[in-house]
Amino acid sequence: MSVVSSSQCVDVFLACEDAIRRGKLIRRASRDDKEFHFQNWFKERLKDTNILFDAPGRNSYPDFTLVNSTEGFELKGLAFPGRDADYDCNSQVPTGLHNGREIYYVFGRYPKEPDDDEYPVYDLVVVHGDFLNCTHNYVHENKSIKGFGSYGDIMIRDRKMYVAPTPFALTKGTAREITLILPKDKTVDKRIKAVGDLTRIESEKLVVGYNFDLRTNELKPQFVTNPGAGRKHEFIAYRAKDSTGPNVELNLKKGL
């Protein structure tokens, strides 16, 4: 699946790579700012490219959308050391296509407890959303039921939260590096070089529902056979042309 050329994605990636190499620091506005400091750092990188973009709002998806191409960027800042093997998706399943727009996820790790309000980006992965999940037709909705409680007038709201693995868990060779992961059929230019072939394989079964027993607090999934079971989805890991570092490969414990 390719909607547009990857040229602007490469521009954005290289702007991030250049900024990290030149020591452009994250600037935290306040000690209470636990999330948006990394978004602000990335926003400055978009400005560096002179690419027109919109930042729709703090609760919108994706975090940034490009104006002249159907591409969007979702930011995931990860404090390190800390939880970086998976992340909460905040009611939006990761995907490579949303409302006709290609989605890229930007994962950056930075110090968990910095000494001051300026600190570096340790490493960064820009990854096409299909690497995380290649399903495009799932629509998230929160539902509710009434009739709970002794008097039958309490509502139960089903508010789903998704937890997905990060590229740092799915791959080897991305720690302390600056990496771009794209579908194999993407056209790229000579400013970047391939450093690894990555193949993800669709699972045998799909979860299509679940049942929660309020009496026992048991959650049971409902499975169906995946019509795409065994289908391979091929990706290539890239870095800046003059960069050094290890090749990237799939972590087989996490990446199948």
Structure tokens at 168: 């740092």
Report the C-alpha gap between 242 and 220 in whole angstroms: 50
Give the pTM: 0.92
User: For residues 17-42, b (16+ Cβ closer than 10 Å) or e, as one string?
Assistant: bebbeeebbbebeeeeeeeebbbebb
**Confidence grade of residue 4 (pLDDT, cut at 50, 70, 90):** very low
C-beta neighbour count of 167 within 10 angstroms: 25
pLDDT tens, position by position, 169-213: 999 999 999 999 999 999 899 999 999 999 999 999 999 999 999
Burial annotation 79-108 (CB, 10 A radius, 16+ → b, else e): ebeeebeebebeebbbbbbbeebbbbbbbb
Write out pLDDT tens, residues 66-109. Answer: 998 999 999 999 999 999 999 998 878 999 999 999 999 999 99
- Cβ proximity of 171 and 237 under 8 Å: yes
> What was the pLDDT predicted at 226?
96
Backbone angles phi, psi at 223, to 5 degrees: -110, 150
Per-domain residue ranges of the chain: 7-201+230-250
- Predicted confidence band at 1 (pLDDT cuts at 50, 70, 90)? very low
Q: Where are the beta strands (DSSP E) in 13-153?
A: 26-27, 53-54, 64-66, 71-80, 86-88, 97-98, 101-111, 118-119, 123-128, 143-148
